[in-house]
Every structure is written in structure tokens, then in C-alpha cells.
Chains A and B, each alone.
Chain A
Amino acid sequence: MSAIAMDAATLWWVLGTALTFLGLGVMLAAPALLRKLLAFNVMGSGVFLVLLALRPRGPDGVADPIAQALVLTGIVIAIASTALGLMLARRYHLATGRDSLPEDAPEGTDD
């Protein structure tokens, strides 16, 4: 890795990219609802890292305040979404005993 001239920001957006697509892949492939929600959060963290790491820091080493504000708002929205998702998943689990959605029925067939 030392062969590549990498500054600190680059490291973080590379990590952000890795987390983003790690999360994305699991979100698409994993059947369990809880794992999907975990993956959404990991993906979100990755996106936030990219967002912040791309912005140049101020002279005092403090990150771009607007980017920080955006990430803060994003985190709150993510937690609201996660909480709602968990609530729905738990309710669904209570009603059906399932922890994942049924496999997609062939399209257009009525259930």
C-alpha cells in the first residue's frame, strides 16, 4: 500500500467505498430483515465517509462544517428509518413468526 501515494482523505473515501458496496451487496442478497437493516446502516456509514472525506478540511483541521451538518442530518434520518424498519419487522415477526419476507412470488400472480 505504501507504493501508492495516499493522503489521509483518500484512505477514508476508499474505506467509504468499500463499506458502501459491502453494505449494498448484503442488502440485496441477504434474506433476513435484521441483516438487511444492518447492511443499510453499514452502507450509510460508507456513504457518509465518502461525503465527508471528499471535502477539503479547513485551515484548523476541522472538517467542512456543511458536510458535517449534512452527515449529522443523514445519521438522524438513518436512525429514524432503521427504527421504523425494526418496528415493522418486529410486528411482522410477531404476526407471522418470520424474520424475512417471503421470497418474491412469480410476478403478477395473486397471492
Chain B
Amino acid sequence: MTEVFLLPLAVLLPLLMACCVHVSADRFARPLQWVGALGMATLVLALVAHDAPMRTVLGGWEAPLGIELVADRLAKTLLVFTLLVYAAVLLYAEGYFAQSPIEARRFRPLAWLLWAACNAAFLSDDLFNLYVTLELAGLTAVGLAALSGHPKALAAALRYLLAALLAANLFLLGLALLYGSTGVLSLRMLAAAVEPGTASLLAFVLLVTALALKTALLPLHTWLPPAHGGAVTPVSALLSALVIKVSFVILLKLWLHFAPVLDLVVLGQGLAVMGALAVVWGSLLALRQQRLKMLVAYSTVAQVGYLFLPFAWLRPGTPAAAVAFDASVLQILGHGFAKAAMFLAAGVLLRAAGRDGLEGLQGAASRQPLAVFALALAGISLIGLPPSLGFSAKWSMLQAALLAGQWPWVLLLLTGSLLTAAYVFRAIRYAFLPAPDVSELRPVPALMSYSALLLAVLAAFGGLGTATLAAWLEIEIAGWPEALP
């Protein structure tokens, strides 16, 4: 009985919560949120405890007629990831919005809707349904980016929306080609039915382009920095940790399904090359920023580049594939936790200093040690120093590159690490400078620093669990493609 429930609830519960917090008065919304978050935690735990892969047929109508939700271990990992990010961000938001109830009222329902969208994307096995979840996530993100209503935020949100709309149409066009030739929408049936050829390859390229645009892969990244850097801080964290991961995870799922059928070697190399350029260019731009949140936002452009590197090695039947798959998951988690932590910590520091410039960080190491510590720990993961998740991701990428006999990638990965270190420490060194004037410091709730630290610790020490995670994910990729459903 519970099995019938669990997967749909992972989407429907946050949707219901969104409706509830939207209609309820402020004083009820807060406790209601904690009840909801607790419910989500229970739900996700129950899902993970369920060891076997889960498949739920919605409405009792099996594919190809209906839609199925699938919780393999990849999806379960991502559900836990989302839960952890949300736990920290919701805590943080209570402190952050304490002075601005109107923004809090706008934030809450959209945040819950976004949670539903993330879970829906991770669980869905239906191409069209994935399009709907992508739109759900995209429009929610636009609304969140516009939350403050400032003209700059509006401009950023509009840019974001236009990118999302373009991506939506490209995705639909790709879908039209695939559905037109096969008449099915379930990913596993599509993979079985699709015939290699111009139409299917073009369809796949369209889907990949759309998803790369939504994930902000260079050169389709220009919408990202203003939207992420200009949003209110809890939103920046959600956008960078989760929203770009939604489109990326969909891309990864498509890749796992279609790489065995279509010849994607060239496309994979192409994506990896774009990723490499993104790593370098994004880092260089981050180095040039004068404002902390923009620095963190441009760092996302670079980190997204790393997400796309494993496609060079994700070829079915090669020894590098399993390692590359691990690398993708680790990079998703590592960047998610680290970047959210970084934004949250930046938010604390900016609020304390009252301004957005890097020089506002002066003296922060002694005034806001927790936030600086969180920033540094998150930075360690972005750089890829052990035992962070970012390190494990890079370690796996290095291994995959050498297993595939493509050693030049090693050079790129190491250069990327050093560039990252350069911009991370460029920010952190300000914190060690003596404070110019103590009197202008504003109080910040300690809760905010702690929630940033929670995520930073996950990012910086999560790498210790790499072997465990890799063993847990192994059945999803071992023997790929035969092992796929």
C-alpha cells in the first residue's frame, strides 16, 4: 500500500504544502512549513529505506498509455540531496525574511512548488512529463528571481524567462520528432523504439541544446549570472543548487537511455569541450567580479562546465563509463551543497556589512567567523580539495579521463582547480584584513550562519562517503547499457 503512495507523494505533498502556505496567514505558515518539511523528511527516508528500485504506475495506466514514476538509486540520491538543501534554505529564509514579511509570503509557496518540480523531474520516466516539470521548475525559478521586484531583478528574471521559453520550444521540437517517429513517450520505451538516423539524432541534439541552455552551459550562460547574483539570497541558493541541476539531471537521464542506441561520441566530446571552455571562461570572469554574489554566480558558470565534462567518457561498454557516471553525480551534489552554502554565507556577510562589494568583507573573519568558515569550506569543495565532494568529483573525472586514454583533460581539471582557488581566496583574503569600522556592523541571526555551515560541512566532508555512494550507485551503471530497464 505504502509503495503506491510514496513516489507520487514526493511530488504531491510539496504541491499541497505550496497551496496551504499560500492561503494561510503568516503565523500559521511557519509552523505549517516545519510540519511539511518533517513530512518530506519522513517520506524521503522511507523511500531510501526501500532498497529495491521502485516504479509507480500513476492512475494504474501503464506506459505507453500512462505515466510512470521511477525511483532508481540516482533519483533517490537526488531526493535526499534536495531535502538537505531545502532544510538549510528554509531555516535560513526564516531568518532572512524576518524583517520583510511580504517577501516571505511570496517566497514560501514558490519555494514549495520548486521542491515539487525538482522531485517530479527526478522521478519522471516520461519525456513529455519531463517537459512539464522543466517548465514548472523554470517558471518558479523566474518568479523567485523576480521576488524583490527591483528593476534589476525584473530584468534578470525576464532574461531568464526568455531563455527558459526558448529552451521549452526547442525541447518540444525534439520531443515532437521522437514522438512522431515512435509514438511513445516513456523514456525506456523510446530508447527501445528509436531508430538511429538523422531524425532521432537531430531530436536528441535539440533536447540537449534546450537542456544545455537551461543548465547555462557556455555559450548559453549569459542569463545566469544576473539572475543568480541578483536574486534575494535564499533564492540564489535554490536556483544554483537545484534548478540548474533539474535540467542537467534530465539530460543525464536522456543520455543514459539514448547513448546505447544513438551514436553520441562526437556530441559527448563537443559537450565536454564546451564544458572545458566554461570552466576556464567562467573562472576568469569570476576573478574579475567586484561584488561577492556576482563572483559566486560566475563561479556557477565555471562549475556547470565540470558537469558536462563526464559526457566525454560516458560511452556504453567502456570502463570509464561507470567512473564518469559517479563523477556526474558527485559534481551535482558537490556543487549543489557548496554553491548553496556559498550564497547563504555571502548573504550573511553582505547583510552584516550592509553592502555588496568584496571590500565589505573586511574584518569578517573575526566578526562573522562562522560565515567565513562556511564560505571557505564551500570554496574548498569548489576548488576540489579533499575530502570534499568536489574533490571526489574531480578525482573521478581524472580517473575517467585516464581510463579513456584522454590525458589532456587532466591538464584542464588541474588548471580549473587553480583558477577556482584564485577566485575563492581572492574573496576570503578580504575577510582577514582588519575591519575598517566596527560601528557599521549590523546584527544577523545566528541561525543563518548555521544553516550555511550545515551545507558547507556536507560539501567539504561529503567526499568521505564517496566509496559508499559509488557502491550504492553501482547497480545503476554496472553493465550499462544492458542493466537499464
- What are the residues of chain A within 8 A of B177 when measuring CB–CB? 50, 54
Summarize B's interface: helix, strand, loop or mixed. Answer: helix
Q: Is the C-beta of B161 less than 8 angstroms from some C-beta in chain A?
A: yes
Could you give, for residues 127-163 of chain B, a 1 whenever the CB lies within 8 Å of some chain A CB and a 0 otherwise? Answer: 0100010010001001100100101101101110110
> Which of B128, B146, B155, B169 has a CB less than 8 Å from the CB of A47?
B169
> Which of B132, B152, B157 has a CB less than 8 Å from the CB of A77?
B132
In this complex, what residue of A is CB-closest to B219?
A107
- What are the residues of chain A within 8 A of B143 when measuring CB–CB? 84
In chain B, positions 209-226 with a C-beta closer than 8 Å to chain A are 222
Task: Contacts A89-B158, A92-B154 given; indicate if A110 touches B289 (C-beta within 8 A).
Answer: yes
Q: Is the C-beta of B180 less than 8 angstroms from some C-beta in chain A?
A: yes
Q: Is the C-beta of B285 less than 8 angstroms from some C-beta in chain A?
A: yes
Is A51 in contact with B179, judged by CB distance below 8 angstroms?
yes
Is B180 in contact with A51, judged by CB distance below 8 angstroms?
yes
In this complex, what residue of B is CB-closest to A85?
B161
- Which of B96-104, B261-269, B290-298, B476-484 is the interface stretch? B290-298
Q: Is the C-beta of B173 less than 8 angstroms from some C-beta in chain A?
A: yes
Q: Is the C-beta of B91 less than 8 angstroms from some C-beta in chain A?
A: no
Is A95 in contact with B151, judged by CB distance below 8 angstroms?
yes
In chain A, positions 41-80 with a C-beta closer than 8 Å to chain B are 43-44, 47-48, 50-51, 54-55, 64, 66-67, 70, 73-74, 77, 80
Task: Contacts A85-B161, A104-B222 given; indicate if A51 touches B176 (C-beta within 8 A).
Answer: yes
> Which of B154, B161, B175, B290 has a CB less than 8 Å from the CB of A91?
B154
Is B162 in contact with A70, judged by CB distance below 8 angstroms?
no
In this complex, what residue of A is CB-closest to B172?
A47
Q: Is the C-beta of B54 less than 8 angstroms from some C-beta in chain A?
A: no
- What are the residues of chain B within 8 A of A91 when measuring CB–CB? 149, 154
> Which of B132, B158, B172, B294 has a CB less than 8 Å from the CB of A92?
B158
In this complex, what residue of A is CB-closest to B128?
A70
Task: Contacts A81-B135, A107-B222 given; indicate if A33 touches B158 (C-beta within 8 A).
Answer: yes
Least distance between A11 CB and chain B CB atoms (Å): 15
> Which of A51, A80, A96, A110 has a CB less than 8 Å from the CB of B175?
A51
Q: Is the C-beta of B415 less than 8 angstroms from some C-beta in chain A?
A: no
Task: Contacts A70-B128, A92-B151 given; indicate if A80 touches B176 (C-beta within 8 A).
Answer: no
- What are the residues of chain A within 8 A of B442 when measuring CB–CB? none
Task: Contacts A36-B162, A101-B158 given; indicate if A96 touches B151 (C-beta within 8 A).
Answer: yes
Given contact pairs A20-B173, A47-B172, A110-B290, a sample of 17 additional A-B residue pairs in the complex whose CB atoms are under 8 Å apart: A40-B162, A47-B169, A50-B177, A54-B179, A54-B180, A55-B183, A67-B179, A84-B139, A84-B142, A88-B142, A88-B161, A92-B155, A96-B151, A101-B159, A107-B285, A108-B284, A108-B288
A-B pairs, 4 with minimum CB distance: A54-B180, A51-B176, A108-B285, A95-B151
15 contacts across the A-B interface (CB closer than 8 A): A28-B166, A51-B172, A54-B176, A54-B180, A55-B183, A66-B185, A85-B161, A92-B151, A92-B155, A92-B158, A95-B151, A95-B154, A101-B158, A101-B159, A108-B284
